[in-house]
Structure 1
Amino acid sequence: MEKIHPLITELMAQDKRTTRKTPIEPEINNLSQRQDNAIKEIQNLHSIIITPADKGSTIVSMDKVDYAWEAMRQLEDENYYKSLDGPICPTHMKIEETHQPEAIALPYWHKSTQTQILLPKIHKEPLEWTKPFQIPKGRPIISDCNSEPPLKQTP
């Protein structure tokens, strides 16, 4: 590994000192009280989903039932997803019983499960939507933050 040139190290130190001296500006709300209240009211509606769109910087609000319908339509598509034959708990317990430290890092086993969200493709023609003019197709995003990594490969 190469060493960092002393001039670069000094520039980094100067940047660090300058950053520490720079005051943090207080956040200024650019919304009126009425707008702020309207946003809070919308956020508290449990019948809608507010999510980013698939493209652009648009925010989409969708009926929660329609959003769930599109998610289930995708999850039931056997070209992309396969249902488990049964609960995974017995398999999980068997792995814990026969735990081999060199094969499975169990601390990762207890991490969270993956999560799926959909980004509605509102940029597509409404006639091409899953339900034309009602439910746009969604681009699935699978978040596996804090989920288990792949198992170690043993030689």
Structure 2
Amino acid sequence: VTAEMSAIMKEFSELRPSVTSGNLTRKNISSLIDFRHNDEIIIKPTDKGGAVVIWGKTDYIAAANRQLGDGSTYKVDNVVRTEQYCEDIHVFVCDAWAQGTISQETCERLIPKELSLGRCYLLPKIHKNKTHCPGRPIVSGNGSYTEGISRFVDDCLKEIATGVPTHLRDTIHF
């Protein structure tokens, strides 16, 4: 480490966050809170670019229905399989524990506690078309019955992926 780097690191370590009162008045804050609770709009971060889009709720629902109604991409399934999927996960995880592949603690962590589905929502793609703002469909598994097993698989794959010589940790490592 050079003397210049040491000086920069020392200066950086001495930085303290500044505490400011903000630049919004109470009326501004109250207006933002009212705006956020408006049931006629949907506020979403964009897919790319770090912006925020305010979508009319009817336009948002129409965009979601247009995408989900595309029969070449999505299939309507009127059968609710939540309980069956939870049972399948339960059997699979318990078999893994019985065979000694996972511990009892891991087994208990992976078995769904609640019957909850993933949630689908759209992120606006403003970089695509300025007159018509399509949305990128996202299915969030947070809180769903597959979350535990998904996290477990991700942890297992991370260990494998980080051992591959072509694995990049971050931009600096690249």
Q: Please state which band the TM-score falls in when normalised by the shorter chain.
A: 0.5 to 0.7
Hey, what's the Cα distance between the residues in 2 that align with 1:125 and 1:30?
Answer: 31
> 1:92 aligned to 2:92?
no
Hey, what's the Cα distance between the residues in 2 that align with 1:44 and 1:139?
Answer: 24
Aligned-residue offset at 1:65 = 2.5
Aligned-residue offset at 1:115 = 3.0
Partner of 2:26: 33
**Distance verdict in 2 for CA 1:94–1:117, change over 3 Å:** closer
Hey, what's the Cα distance between the residues in 2 that align with 1:37 and 1:94?
Answer: 48
Q: Is there any run of 5+ residues in structure 2 with no aligned partner, and where?
A: 2-8, 157-174
Higher relative contact order (CA 8 A, sep 6+): 1
Hey, what's the Cα distance between the residues in 2 that align with 1:51 and 1:57?
Answer: 10
**C-alpha RMSD of matched pairs (Å):** 3.8
Q: Deviations over 1:43-90 (max 9, x none)?
A: 111221111233433321112222122122222323333344622113
What is the SS of the residue equivalent to 2:95?
A: coil
Aligned to 1:144, which of 141, 144, 151? 141
Q: Deviations over 1:104-131 (max 9, x none)?
A: x6533427643332122334131xx2xx
**Distance verdict in 2 for CA 1:141–1:27, change over 3 Å:** farther
Aligned to 1:118, which of 122, 125, 145? 122
Aligned to 2:110, which of 108, 119, 130? 108
Partner of 2:63: 70
Query: Where in structure 1 do 4 or more consecutive aligned residues deviate above 6 Å?
Result: none
> What letter is aligned with 1:122?
I
- The alignment of Structure 1 onto Structure 2 pairs a total of residues equal to 133
TM-score (structure 2 length as normaliser): 0.55
Q: Is there any run of 5+ residues in structure 1 with no aligned partner, and where?
A: 1-6, 8-14, 130-135
**Distance verdict in 2 for CA 1:115–1:71, change over 3 Å:** same
What is the SS of the residue equivalent to 1:100?
A: helix
Hey, what's the Cα distance between the residues in 2 that align with 1:46 and 1:35?
Answer: 19
What is the SS of the residue equivalent to 1:61?
A: strand
